[in-house]
Structure 1
Amino acid sequence: MDPEQEHTWPGLERLGAAERDLEGEAMFRRLSASMFGTSHAPVLIGRFRVLETLGQGGMGVVYAAEDSQLDRLVAIKVIRDDRLRDGPKDRARLLREARMQAKLSHPNVVQIHEVNENDGGLFIVMELVPGATLRQWLDREPRSLAAILERFVEAARGLSAAHRVGIVHRDFKLANALVGEDDRVRIADFGLALGELAEAETHPDRPSAGAGASAATSRYAGTPAYMSPEQVRGLACDARSDQYSFAVALSEAVFRRPPPPALERLAEHAGTPALPADRAVPQWLRRALERALALDPADRHPSMDALVDVLLAAPRRRRRQLVALGLVAALGTATAVGAAMRGDSPQSSCAPPDERIAGLWDDARRNRLADAFAATDLPYAADSWRRARAGLDEYAERWATAGHDNCVATRLRGEQSERMFDLTAACLARHRTAWTTLLDSFAQADVALVADAEDLIAALPDPQQCRAAAARQAELGGPSRAPDDKVRAILDRAKIFTGTHQGREAVALLGGALPGIREVGDVGGEAEALLLLAQGQGRLLGDGPGAVRSLHLAYDRAVAAGRGDLTWEVWNELARVSATLFDRPAEARTWLAHAQAARPSDSPVADAALLSVESEILRAEHRPADAVALRRSALGILQSYWPAGHPELTLARQTLAAGLGEAERLDEARAQHLQLLDELRARLGADHPAAARVEVNLGLDVFELGRHAEARTYLEHARAVLTRTYGGAHPEVAAIDVTLGQLDLEDDDLARATARVEGALAGYDATVPRAHTDRVTTLAFLSELYRLGGQLPRQLAISQELLDIHDADPGRGDVDVAGVLANIGDHLCQLGRCPEALPYFNRLMALQLDEPPEEPALRALPLRGMGLVYAARGQPELAIAFLEQALEILERAPNERLGMADMTVATMRELADALAAVRRDPARVRELRKRAAAVEAAAAAAGE
């Protein structure tokens, strides 16, 4: 057999008989290639490259593998032939159930990507979930009851999602629930735990109970300790069987031991299971578990959703009275909306529009806001107030008119039902909360709000859309519970923070308010809060893992609340985060497909948002021209929907221009930015932040065109405008300083560039999390500046910080971990601390083994480093072995990378010194030193 084909797919059907270890074979080939230069093909299952074994059991072996086509890591279950005892029947059944599960997409279910068979073999490709099983999660440390219930509710959501599409797990247990590194639970092995999945269906003559049941149990699907009574009897299983197994697992987690097995209870004719006594377990939970563990399926909870409702509702009812004070505290200045949140009475709802806004929008309030705007001392404050007042006047009129029309249509003309009247009135009340929250915020004389006043007013929900929204809600049988007013005020306040780029404030407000929102029981409001939290974490703070956790929770709560209007947004935001923060376009496309399937059918804004995110995916796929086409389409949709000058249009035009720049159509990008800048200056003035943001992009365009002086002019003016509005410690100001630092470096002013970028880092430190992508990029640039300036201790400190950031989140792609490891080791040696560099060079060598560098010469870096370490430790024999390998690599490719000639010279001399230290081969020592001098002289002559 051809050795390169030995472990590819055609041989896998013999895996069970031959007991081949694919992980061991893969490791052997990698080490062989690294140490001896031999060439071996990777170990393959289809198109998937085997990396390691994740686990094995009676059904087969699960491997971690790399999908060469989609560039992602996956888990592959290779089914053992001897587990398919009925041959074609078992194979067909297994394929059918696996493909059914592949259609199931839910945050709490392991996603099956594909199911394949070839030459008699069968394998299943699944989502790879780094983390632990639920059992391991429980065993690692003591867990509070609240934490346990939170994990199990997620598991129950996954089971419920499967039940809704007709899938029964049949083997739920602690080992089949995975807790990912994002703390999200995913259910694995739906219907796939054993080959005899439907034996009861294919063998109807099997006895239903009796003495023979005990002996035969192990032959049928399930794990005895978790089996439901009907499974033990060999009867058909349904969703209530999974509920029983779930309750066994939850009882085991709560009481630290499982209840008596069903087989034992059946033999003893036991009724209610004897659960252990434990004062820490509340009675409501004990009763819920006892019902779920009933021997008769008809006596259990009607469904998993019903059990989830019990697990969520019982503690909430006990504490709801204690929450109001917490919510009020979270509101801050938003508590001033109290009077504005009172509902309308039937007698006053048909009052004329001007009477409806009395006390909400009048001259007294206008005067207070005018004084607040003026108090900011911004040069454009007066103009900003003039435009803001016009916008607020118009909004007040539209809101009042919508309320009047709603009443007339119901009470006077009889055109709509009381139900429609109530739904529309509730919508208008929510809009009033958003409006009055914004008015109270304007009164605080906040410069950020004054700068973005027009955008915030334009972002207010349109009251004229309330009747249409009410009609859709009535058709869908909308939520019976009205949103909580205090919750709405918190959400509106958070939207103001996100609208003014105040990410930390938004995240702090929502994070502090969420416990109270949960206890109040406004599930829809909780879903909105989590979505807003994720947008603040991801878009404003660059916190990808935090955003993903919040989005999965948001999806769960949106589904529980029946908020289909939110689910597409959650999927779309997950796609955005995957593409922009994690650089995972394949994963992003999966989320986007869900968003597209769930999007509202009559929303141009939603269509444009989906196109915008798809353009980000295309950027991650290195297809900038295609991204430009989608951004142009999104802009066209918005132009047909929003009036000219709307902030959403401005943002879409900026995004399109930026895309043109990324596609290297710099002249077009510059023309787009110039046109937009002229419009904004004419409407808002040259010193308005909106115009300054366009100036920043224009400066980047001309910088790329090589027109450095023009770029500096734009950037310096934009910096002055933004600093005057937001102060020096602001992310936008920091980003400008980084670009100006690049211009300084182009002008050979290293000291000025270094000081500028140090200031940018200080600005980021004050405003964004430590691991924010822009801050990480700034650290890398500052590290290079310190290298150029010979400031090795400072560069070493930054390299250490970059490595810490990467290690805290290894999935991120904005840290060149190989370069950082090489820098740390090199700096330590240059500072006379070479022995400390050993773990860094060791790690770099292991990394190169897994991911060979594109430039082969870079393989010499860790080898030379190991040689220096051993030389410094007084072990020249070991040093010689590594330095010989490094020199051989460098001499084969001496000019592949800038600086390699210098490294070659240094390695020659270091090898000569090591040989001399052991008094070996003096002729070789002389030859190495002579060659080093010759290479150095040639390099010097070339430099002249």
Structure 2
Amino acid sequence: MLDLVAKEPADGVEIAVEQDTAGLAIAPTPGGEELLVARHGATLPRRPGRETGWLTGPGLGDTTPAMDPQQEHTWPNLERLGSDKRDLADEAMYRSLKSKLFDEAHPPVQLGRFRVVQTLGQGGMGVVYSAQDLQLDRLVAIKVIRDDRLREGARDRARLLREAQMQAKLSHPNVVQIHEVSEAEGGLFIVMELVKGFTLREWLDREARPLAAILERFVEAARGLSAAHQVGIVHRDFKLANALVGEDGRVRIADFGLAVADQRHQETEPDRPAGPASGHTSKYAGTPTYMSPEQVRGRECDARSDQYSFAVALTEAVFRRAPPPAVERLADRTGAPLALPADPPAPQWLRRALTRALSLDPADRFPTMADLIDVLVESPKRRRRRALAAGLVVALTSATALGATLFTASAQTQCSQYKDRLASTWNERKQTLHDAFKATGVPYAEKSWQRASSMLAEYVHDWAEVAANNCQATQPATPTLERLFARGAACLDRQRSAFDTLLDQFAKADAALVADADAAVAGLPPPARCRVSADMRLEGAPVGPTTPRVRELLDRGELLTNIQKGRDAVAVLDDALSESRGTADAAGEAEALLCLGRARGRLLGDGPGATYFLHQAYDRANAADHPSLKWEIWNELAWVQAVVFDAPGEARTSMDHARSEPHPDPRTAEAAIAAVEGEILIAEGRAEEAVERRKFALATLRALYPADHPEVVLARRALAAGLGEARQQQLARELNEQLLADLRRDYEPSHPWPARVELDLGLDLYELEQYPAAREHFERARDTLLAAYGERHPWVAKAEVALARLDVEGGAIPQAIERLDRALATFDDLYPPAHAERINALIILADAHLTSGQTARALTVYRELLAIHEAAPAHSTVDEPGVVANIGDALCTLGRCPEALPYFASLLAHESTASDPALKAAALRGFGLVHLAKGQPELAVAPLQEALRLFEQAPGDRSGIPAMRVATMRELADALTATGRSPEKVRELRRRAAELESAG
């Protein structure tokens, strides 16, 4: 088959297309846009309102003659579609076309381990392709360097390799990441991150953009350029077309094809003269509109040249026209100053910044891109900050005064008083909190309080120890040590704020909070991060939010996240974000955005929302000079990409960023990164390697925490789940049984933590087909979770879904549907439509409806699943081919088979079908059913024969295949009978179908 595109399709008629040895049926997809060519004939309706049809396809160009819909047509000989000289993408398409039309095996076009998919663009340095990384299973972009860029052979190759490798060291969210530089078959190619989106020019042209949005995008681009400058790279060709706006809204600088090393940092090849003849990147290269004056003059370029080009692009974006090119300004001998357009209006501070950046003399521009960024970011906020200046000065003065006070009196006494501050709060409140726990009436309240209070007492001890250490480490008093102490004191004050917020919540505890009290305490920020020493350097990030109200909201939001109250957490964190923006608290804004990304991703399964907030978090962490957040932001983004989006390639890129950032607490960071890497390996289908990473994470956490610490418990559960993914169900079962025994020892039997592990254990037993034992664990877990949390809770809904699956297996369909309806009501309250748990429940519900003969209801569910997929296909977790096949089958079962044609056509065209014979068989069987329904048995025979051949090759133990095989035998027999052909074959088909059915 061949996927084609229809332009102006013929309508209101039926057309049959024939090709020498095999008919080529043309069918529209559900969207009416794509066409499909398969190895059988067909007559299909076309959309009304058109008169002629055109076909285009890979290798065909746009010149295929118009089709007369009343006549038969001969498809061009495939060999004539080839060319003696094709580029890599054309060659890949050509081989794919031959393979699909004639079932001929052709090797894919590859560069090393990268399989070429299509051409993305061409530039001065070479051609860029999208390709599949067969080792890491991710899409990448590959730039193949043109031969004429390597005129001097080894010297050019060595220089380009060296410069590309230098760029590969640049890891920044606003720069397209280079993964590697390689050689194959004598050629040189660069493997890069594939960015799905459009250029900054296209982004501007799509709609009118407010100035604030333009500045936000350009600041991101400026940060990418600044990062390149910091490692000695000058881009030299920045323009609107070389900045990409990804689907996530983040800007990335691309196409460093003309980049050179900043001569102030290093010489790329100091003994070699520049110039076109030498093969060295020409000083004159670039795009005339954006070229700096020094480029026009052929002089050396540095970071200020990029600043000029950036200012040209920003001027063009703001005023909708670029300033006069540098070559014209240099030719103007009048010396007239640059005049920016008067319309549209723009703030004076921006006009001044652009005028300075566009100075003809590099010395008159901003010293660095970072200085220009400061103006673009800070100027809009300056007026708002003036209103806050007095309050901030008072706060800073107080922090310094605190340090000074500690050094004026007896050091021993003052340090003692300081370290006892948290202890006094705890001693005053713990009895009241104990009473609040008991007042909930839950049977495990006392034991939960004992565990939580023990953890809180240990926290108080650790905080006091760090406070005393900081006090003593910064004596005797000096101005530098006073500042160091003030920083540690501010950090500890941040921890104390979180502690106070937790106690406030415990004072009004409900049953759910009592159940998750351990997790709530474990979520407190560790005091050890505030430890200082006399030999520490003062440079570094602020300790966090400066506004008390922002602190309190963030602490409450994180608490709600830790106890898995997703909707409540997001609501509180939204308030924290709004408050931080209203008070210009950049550090608080960065933390609020990170917490929102975590809550939306981990609790709500909202991948797009999580991605949006996490990228914003990184931007604000940069603006606030808050580097301690950056590794966590990238690690969280990697988790979302691996788990929510099932995009391990993108997750690997984010993981590379996470590793490159400094870790304020390396041991906990190592465990967190290892845990996320385990998720990436699962997404890559490398479950055994994932188990090893999870073992490492567990060992690291065990060295940091007690055996019953919530983080250790979660790591043990994750390891058991990894063993299950690795098909080691028995080991997973044993690990969960041991964990369950430990939790039952440490908690009351009615506590929800053992119940969660019972759910895991039930799933292990389900995989081992020990259904009665699985049901026992599921039911006990459901009852415990329901008592702890009430009906509207995700853990209760998960238990109901698990039981519903067993009900479907056992034929208790009404009970299964009732459970699933309850679970979906909960998921609808708590999750967005595309959440993985909700999708899983919908799939089981559709199966239940089909099993009970309620095909129309199943069809409704399948269509909902398809709508979820089509709303965000790039990051969907819906099995689109399976859903499309089920929609087609359901329509045929309901006697509406002609309506199923677009779905079967879409299934046959789907990329997954080429590698899955069962999917191809399902689609071909669908075509046969459509022809039978339309009274065209002669057209049904060929697709049904091919479908049966493929079904017979498919594994017999694969779900649904035996039944499909039997059904296809009978349908083929019906088609042959209707045509009066092969009566012996008809009898053989019916006999085999009966034997298989009775055997099954």
Which residue does 1:352 correspond to in 2? 417
In the alignment, which of 92, 107, 125 is matched to residue 26 of structure 1? 92
Query: Does the residue aligned with 1:224 lie in a helix, a strand or coil?
Result: coil
1:649-701 CA deviation, whole Å, 9 max, x = no partner?
22223333333444455454444434433443343311112222222223333
* 1:299 equivalenced with 2:299 (yes/no): no
* 1:147 equivalenced with 2:208 (yes/no): no
In the alignment, which of 495, 499, 518 is matched to residue 454 of structure 1? 518
Structure 1 residue 141: Cα displacement: 1.7
Q: 1:480 to 1:427 in 2, by over 3 A?
A: closer
Q: Which amino acid in the other structure matches residue 291 of structure 1?
A: R
Q: Which amino acid in the other structure matches residue 852 of structure 1?
A: A
Contact residue 193 and residue 222 of structure 1 kept, 8 A? no
Which residue does 2:820 correspond to in 1? 757
Which residue does 2:803 correspond to in 1? 740
**Using the alignment, how far apart are the partners of 1:271 and 1:518 within structure 2?**
42
Number of matched pairs: 892
* 1:938 equivalenced with 2:995 (yes/no): yes
Contact residue 624 and residue 663 of structure 1 kept, 8 A? yes
**Using the alignment, how far apart are the partners of 1:473 and 1:479 within structure 2?**
15
Contact residue 199 and residue 240 of structure 2 kept, 8 A? yes
Map of 1:84-95 to 2, 5 A cutoff? 84=150, 90-95=156-161
Query: Does the residue aligned with 1:52 lie in a helix, a strand or coil?
Result: strand
Q: 1:461 to 1:116 in 2, by over 3 A?
A: closer
**Using the alignment, how far apart are the partners of 2:522 and 2:684 within structure 1?**
34
**Using the alignment, how far apart are the partners of 2:418 and 2:269 within structure 1?**
70
Structure 1 residue 151: Cα displacement: 1.3
1:340-364 CA deviation, whole Å, 9 max, x = no partner?
999969669657369846984564x
Which residue does 1:433 correspond to in 2? 497
Which residue does 1:258 correspond to in 2? 322
Q: 1:389 to 1:120 in 2, by over 3 A?
A: closer
1:800-826 CA deviation, whole Å, 9 max, x = no partner?
122222223334463221111111122
Map of 1:818-857 to 2, 5 A cutoff? 818-848=881-911, 851-854=913-916, 856-857=917-918
Q: Give % identity.
A: 55
1:284-310 CA deviation, whole Å, 9 max, x = no partner?
222211111111111111211111111
Map of 1:2-21 to 2, 5 A cutoff? 20-21=86-87
Q: 1:85 to 1:267 in 2, by over 3 A?
A: farther
1:1-45 CA deviation, whole Å, 9 max, x = no partner?
xxxxxx9xxxxxxxxx97524333322322222222233222333
Q: 1:426 to 1:387 in 2, by over 3 A?
A: same
Which residue does 1:316 correspond to in 2? 381
Contact residue 136 and residue 684 of structure 2 kept, 8 A? no
Moved more, 133-142 or 601-610: 601-610
**Using the alignment, how far apart are the partners of 1:894 and 1:414 within structure 2?**
77
Contact residue 138 and residue 253 of structure 1 kept, 8 A? yes
Map of 1:95-244 to 2, 5 A cutoff? 95-192=161-258, 203=273, 220-244=284-308
Which residue does 1:904 correspond to in 2? 968
Q: Which amino acid in the other structure matches residue 180 of structure 1?
A: G
Q: Which amino acid in the other structure matches residue 39 of structure 1?
A: A
In the alignment, which of 340, 344, 349 is matched to residue 284 of structure 1? 349
**Using the alignment, how far apart are the partners of 1:155 and 1:83 within structure 2?**
28
Moved more, 830-839 or 817-826: 830-839
Structure 1 residue 373: Cα displacement: 3.1
* 1:715 equivalenced with 2:778 (yes/no): yes
Map of 1:805-820 to 2, 5 A cutoff? 805-812=868-875, 814-820=877-883
**Using the alignment, how far apart are the partners of 1:486 and 1:420 within structure 2?**
25
For structure 1, which runs of at least 5 residues remain unmatched after alignment? Answer: 1-6, 8-16, 207-216, 325-339
Structure 1 residue 865: Cα displacement: 2.2
Query: Does the residue aligned with 1:226 lie in a helix, a strand or coil?
Result: coil
**Using the alignment, how far apart are the partners of 1:118 and 1:190 within structure 2?**
21
Query: Does the residue aligned with 2:198 lie in a helix, a strand or coil?
Result: strand
The root-mean-square deviation of aligned C-alpha atoms, in Å, is 3.7
**Using the alignment, how far apart are the partners of 1:205 and 1:677 within structure 2?**
72
Map of 1:26-45 to 2, 5 A cutoff? 26-45=92-111
Contact residue 907 and residue 919 of structure 2 kept, 8 A? no
Contact residue 323 and residue 516 of structure 1 kept, 8 A? no
**Using the alignment, how far apart are the partners of 1:874 and 1:299 within structure 2?**
81
**Using the alignment, how far apart are the partners of 2:750 and 2:544 within structure 1?**
47
**Using the alignment, how far apart are the partners of 2:900 and 2:201 within structure 1?**
38
**Using the alignment, how far apart are the partners of 1:505 and 1:471 within structure 2?**
42
**Using the alignment, how far apart are the partners of 1:598 and 1:894 within structure 2?**
47
**Using the alignment, how far apart are the partners of 2:144 and 2:892 within structure 1?**
47
**Using the alignment, how far apart are the partners of 1:589 and 1:894 within structure 2?**
33
Query: Does the residue aligned with 1:417 lie in a helix, a strand or coil?
Result: helix
Map of 1:910-929 to 2, 5 A cutoff? 911-912=975-976, 916=978, 922-924=980-982
Which residue does 1:673 correspond to in 2? 736
1:133-189 CA deviation, whole Å, 9 max, x = no partner?
111111112222222111111111111111111111100111111111111111111
* 1:63 equivalenced with 2:133 (yes/no): no
1:829-856 CA deviation, whole Å, 9 max, x = no partner?
22233333232222111115x65143x2
**Using the alignment, how far apart are the partners of 2:934 and 2:337 within structure 1?**
70
Higher relative contact order (CA 8 A, sep 6+): 2
When normalised by structure 2's length, the TM-score is 0.81
Query: Does the residue aligned with 1:189 lie in a helix, a strand or coil?
Result: coil
Structure 1 residue 496: Cα displacement: 0.3
Higher helix residue share = 1
**Using the alignment, how far apart are the partners of 2:85 and 2:269 within structure 1?**
27
Q: 1:359 to 1:164 in 2, by over 3 A?
A: same
1:421-466 CA deviation, whole Å, 9 max, x = no partner?
2122111211111111112222333433222223322332344653
**Using the alignment, how far apart are the partners of 2:322 and 2:838 within structure 1?**
49
1:52-102 CA deviation, whole Å, 9 max, x = no partner?
221224443222222233322222223332355666554443333222212
Q: 1:204 to 1:900 in 2, by over 3 A?
A: closer
Query: Does the residue aligned with 2:289 lie in a helix, a strand or coil?
Result: helix
Q: Which amino acid in the other structure matches residue 214 of structure 2?
A: I
Q: 1:551 to 1:941 in 2, by over 3 A?
A: closer
Q: 1:18 to 1:317 in 2, by over 3 A?
A: farther
Structure 1 residue 910: Cα displacement: 5.5
Q: 1:639 to 1:26 in 2, by over 3 A?
A: closer
Map of 1:276-425 to 2, 5 A cutoff? 276-320=341-385, 352=417, 356=421, 360-361=425-426, 363=428, 365-366=429-430, 368-389=432-453, 391-392=455-456, 395-396=459-460, 399=463, 403=467, 406-407=470-471, 417-425=481-489
In the alignment, which of 789, 792, 796 is matched to residue 852 of structure 2? 789
Structure 1 residue 887: Cα displacement: 5.5
Query: Does the residue aligned with 2:190 lie in a helix, a strand or coil?
Result: strand
Map of 1:651-662 to 2, 5 A cutoff? 651-662=714-725
* 1:607 equivalenced with 2:670 (yes/no): yes
Structure 1 residue 232: Cα displacement: 0.8
Contact residue 571 and residue 595 of structure 1 kept, 8 A? yes
Query: Does the residue aligned with 1:899 lie in a helix, a strand or coil?
Result: helix
Q: 1:488 to 1:244 in 2, by over 3 A?
A: same
**Using the alignment, how far apart are the partners of 1:886 and 1:205 within structure 2?**
63
In the alignment, which of 587, 609, 626 is matched to residue 546 of structure 1? 609
Q: Which amino acid in the other structure matches residue 773 of structure 1?
A: A
Contact residue 244 and residue 293 of structure 1 kept, 8 A? yes
Q: 1:408 to 1:600 in 2, by over 3 A?
A: closer
